[in-house]
Amino acid sequence: MAEFYSSGGPTSFVDRVSASLGIHASQMKIVAVYTGSVVVEYEVTADDDDSDSADAQLRSLETSLNALLVSEDGASIFGAPVLSASTNDEI
């Protein structure tokens, strides 16, 4: 946890992940950070008020995020190796 915060903590996490997803950092919100290695809970929001477009955008972001989680670059994007992840409560 100390290493997470010494390397920029939530701000760096949001910056790296949002840049990798191609979204503005304001579309990400850190909900919680706690130990267990380091667990970061966050939400990603669409940048459009049109619900149909927002739904499509979020589905696309979910696909991109899942690809990042299993990619070789995942450790550098998330700041550490990803040992476990869930999206919409699915592991």
DSSP state of 18: H
From 8-12, 48-52, 70-74, the region with the lowest mean pLDDT:
48-52
Computed on alpha carbons and rounded to an integer, the radius of gyration of the chain in Å comes to 13
pLDDT mean across residues, the chain: 88
Could you report the per-residue pLDDT of 14-64, keeping only the tens digit for each?
A: 999 999 999 999 999 999 999 978 899 999 999 876 677 888 999 999 999
- φ, ψ for residue 82, nearest 5 deg: -90, 115
Per-domain boundaries in the chain: 2-78
What pLDDT band is residue 82 in, cutting at 50, 70 and 90?
confident
- φ, ψ for residue 86, nearest 5 deg: -140, 145
C-alpha span between 32 and 53 (Å, rounded): 28
